[in-house]
Homo-oligomer: A and B are copies of this chain.
Amino acid sequence: MTQKTQSRSGGRSARRAARAAPLAAHLRPVRPGLSGGQYRPLTAADMDNIHAAALDALEQIGLADAPPSGIALLTGAGAVLGGDGRIRFPRALVEDTIARANRSVTLMGRDPAHDLHLSGHRVHYGTAGAAVHLVEAEGRNYRECGVQDLHDAARIADVLDNIHFVQRPMVCRDITDNLEMDLNSIYACCSGTTKHVGVSFTDPQFVPHAVEMLHMIAGGEDKWRERPFISNTNCFVVPPMKFATESCQVMEACIAAGIPVLLLSAGMAGATAPSTIAGAIVQACAECLAGLVYVNAVKPGHPAVFGTWPFGLDLRTGAMTGGSGEQALLTSGCAQMHKYYDLPGGAAAGIADSKLPDMQAGWEQMCSNVMAGLSGLNMVYEAAGMHASLLGFCHESLILGDDLIGQALRCVRGIEVTDETLALEQIREVCIGGPGHYLGTEQTLGRMQADHVYPTYGDRTSPKEWDELGKPDLIAKATARKEEILAQRSAARFDPQLDAQLRARFNIHLPA
């Protein structure tokens, strides 16, 4: 390696030139699917003990309230229906299911460039939730959210590099009919983004209608089945240890229609799950393992995400809290169990309890997001925009979340140790007869883009520059960016002919 002995100003102009050049996608410092796993909150013995307790819970306690179809499927697979109506799972059945289950799942986007390959410790961040409020950042105000807010969130997420999927983060509170709400949620998300979309169905009867819409969007059933671009968030359990009867029927219908499912167990530690972190993880694992047996009893190998989502509770008030260190541990511990099972998994992180995108929101969102990523969680749900312990969604916060998650992803990417990065020769050349600094070295210039994540909204100016710029406000910058995105024509919008067909067939609430 040769040492450039440029003057400092030579280095600076070379840096300017280098940063003007566009960066090829494969050289970008962060991208979807970077591998975590460097953070392991549980020891090997801890994981063995959690798994053993989950197996005991399944074999001895089991789950109540399966629908008749589920009872038939599960007992057919080897589970045992007790006189108390609970279905118990012999450990051999559970372990065989784990052994035969998918080691990887691909969640597809309408645009294949956005496909998510879930396996190993590959990490993806995205939205999720069922917020009932839209947070107006500038006015510091909460109001009921509607279908336009959901569509706007999808449109914003579509252009943010570090938001890798769009699970519906808000409920359309302005649509009172549940079937219309479910269908319009699909429309609002899919017409706003070509990234993978997650939705949820209230009633098994709604699934055929949704499937009809999906076939139309895909251009036919065959095209849909080849590349399903939505998944169903399926709250198949009511913790502790009860099947959600109707959601199980939704799940069966989704599997039949080729919709990947997120097996979502959302216990509240201290209310519907044990208050201890380990206990909440045990119960979540037990419930999701039951779900995995269920899915594979319906259709072996159907794509399913192992969705252990235990949430925290403020035990002083009994209210949910998602911004705590305990939440970050719940999620990271679950991620490690997913890898213990070698199953594609997801959990919740990035939740702020704070009502607004303020300093509290920043520390809450980063804590669980970076720990989730470092623990190798495949799908980090609720990663951006969520406030008030999941009750509010904020477009400005979603935009700032792109910066925040970019930084978390840089941490997930980790430290590259090679002869080149160890830089011994560079140190020698700089120190002995060299310029005594690294500003202009080939290695510094060559890596200034590929190694470093630069914030888009985050401010790095000096106090003097900041003052001269009029002390720019972070929220105001995000609001301006939101308005800019929403003023543009969305690249994800449906072809006009398809749009007309969808509007003729369904009652679409968004204006054309």
Contact = CB atoms under 8 A, between A and B. Distances in A.
A272 B435 CA distance: 10
A463 interface: yes
Given A46-B415, A417-B49, A323 B458 contact: yes
Interface string A358-400: 1111111111001100100000000000001101100001001
Given A140-B471, A358-B362, A319 B279 contact: no
A341 interface: no
Contact of A241 (B324, B431, B452, B455): B431
Contacts of A359: 357-359, 361-362, 397, 400, 474-475
Interface stretch (A72-80, A290-298, A441-449, A487-495): A441-449
Contact of A360 (B45, B278, B317, B474): B474
Contacts of A420: 276
A430 B319 CA distance: 20
Number of identical protomers = 2
Interface in A265-287: 270-279, 281-283
Contact of A270 (B333, B353, B360, B444): B444
A169 to B, nearest CB: 16
A318 B365 CA distance: 29
A246 interface: no
A367 B364 contact: no
A247 interface: no
A454 to B, nearest CB: 6
A439 interface: yes
A342 B39 CA distance: 20
Contacts of A173: none
A256 interface: no
Interface residues of A, number: 127
B410 A326 contact: yes
A245 interface: no
A358 B358 contact: yes
Given A276-B423, A463-B133, A316 B61 contact: no
Contact of A41 (B43, B358, B415): B415
A235 interface: no
Nearest to A426: B274
Given A360-B362, A388-B463, A444-B275, A432 B61 contact: yes
A195 to B, nearest CB: 23
B279 A389 contact: no
Interface string A24-64: 00000000000000111111011001100100110011001
A395 to B, nearest CB: 14
Contact of A38 (B40, B321, B475): B40
A225 interface: no
A389 B460 contact: yes
Pairs A-B, 8 closest by C-beta atoms: A362-B362, A279-B423, A325-B410, A274-B423, A315-B448, A359-B362, A363-B366, A362-B363
20 contacts: A42-B415, A42-B417, A46-B417, A49-B422, A64-B431, A86-B432, A142-B467, A274-B443, A275-B451, A276-B422, A279-B421, A283-B427, A318-B439, A353-B459, A353-B460, A355-B466, A362-B364, A366-B370, A367-B407, A391-B462
Given A38-B40, A278-B417, A282-B427, 17 more contacts: A276-B416, A276-B420, A276-B421, A278-B421, A279-B426, A314-B454, A314-B460, A324-B453, A325-B406, A326-B453, A329-B411, A355-B459, A355-B471, A360-B458, A370-B371, A371-B411, A388-B466
